[in-house]
Amino acid sequence: MNQLYKNIAMWLIIIATVVLMFNLISYKQPSLEKVVFSDFIQQVESGNVSEVTIQGNNINGKYKDGKVFQTFSPQYPDLISKLRSSGVKIAAEPVVDSPSWGTIFVVPDDTPHRGLDILHAPDAKRRGQGHELRQIQGQAP
């Protein structure tokens, strides 16, 4: 009977993991209306834009009617002054580079970090670098 409970617990964990992974992969942010930059400037001049968040060249904003939008700004030197003169609330955020999945799981062979060098111990011994590996791990040569 004890084995039955272990099997049920294992399957519940597997099912919960699959459901969690599916939810993480399939999550989509609410879609933002894509606006051409010239239309965005026209809306700003008309006083229809209430707030914007600028992150690099990406601009996310909200119209006064509550709808949200997104646009891409070219090099436009008068953008901030135009937004301020129209009474638009301006927020700025730094550009964040998120790593791709490939760079998260790749560990290069020449990694200088002590903990990660242990992962390459079999490779180092095959290449005749056992002496250097023992020094990294804190053992005498």
Nearest to 40 by CA among 4, 67, 13: 67
Least confident of 4-8, 73-77, 95-99, 100-104: 100-104
In a domain, 78, yes or no: yes
Which tokens go with 121? 């111990």
**How many helices, marked H, and strands, marked E, lie in the chain?**
7, 5
Q: Is the pLDDT assigned to residue 65 strictly greater than 60? A: yes
Instruction: Tell whether 112 and 87 lie within a shared domain.
Output: no
Q: Rounded to an integer, what is the distance from CA 99 to the centroid of its chain?
A: 6
Contact indicator for 76, 32 with CB cutoff of 8 Å: no
Instruction: Tell whether 108 and 125 lie within a shared domain.
Output: yes
Instruction: Tell whether 80 and 113 lie within a shared domain.
Output: no
In a domain, 69, yes or no: yes
Contact indicator for 64, 29 with CB cutoff of 8 Å: no
In a domain, 68, yes or no: yes
Q: What is the pLDDT of residue 77?
A: 86
pLDDT band at 99 (very low <50, low <70, confident <90, very high): low
Instruction: Tell whether 87 and 49 lie within a shared domain.
Output: yes
Q: Rounded to whole angstroms, how far apart are CA atoms 84 and 52?
A: 11
Instruction: Tell whether 89 and 105 lie within a shared domain.
Output: no
Which tokens go with 16? 């919960």
In a domain, 10, yes or no: no
Instruction: Tell whether 89 and 107 lie within a shared domain.
Output: no
Q: Is the pLDDT assigned to residue 35 strictly greater than 60? A: yes
Q: Which CATH number is 77's domain given?
A: 3.30.720.210
The residue that leads in pLDDT, 95 or 134, is 95
Instruction: Tell whether 86 and 39 lie within a shared domain.
Output: yes
Residue 46's H or E segment, with its range, is helix 37-46
Helix boundaries (H) for 50-105: 79-85, 101-105
Tell me what the pLDDT averaged over the chain comes to: 77
pTM: 0.50
Instruction: Tell whether 37 and 87 lie within a shared domain.
Output: yes
In a domain, 106, yes or no: yes
Q: Rounded to whole angstroms, how far apart are CA atoms 43 and 86?
A: 10
pLDDT band at 117 (very low <50, low <70, confident <90, very high): very low
| Structural domain span for residue 119 | 101-136
Tokens 């968040």, residue?
A: 53
In a domain, 25, yes or no: no
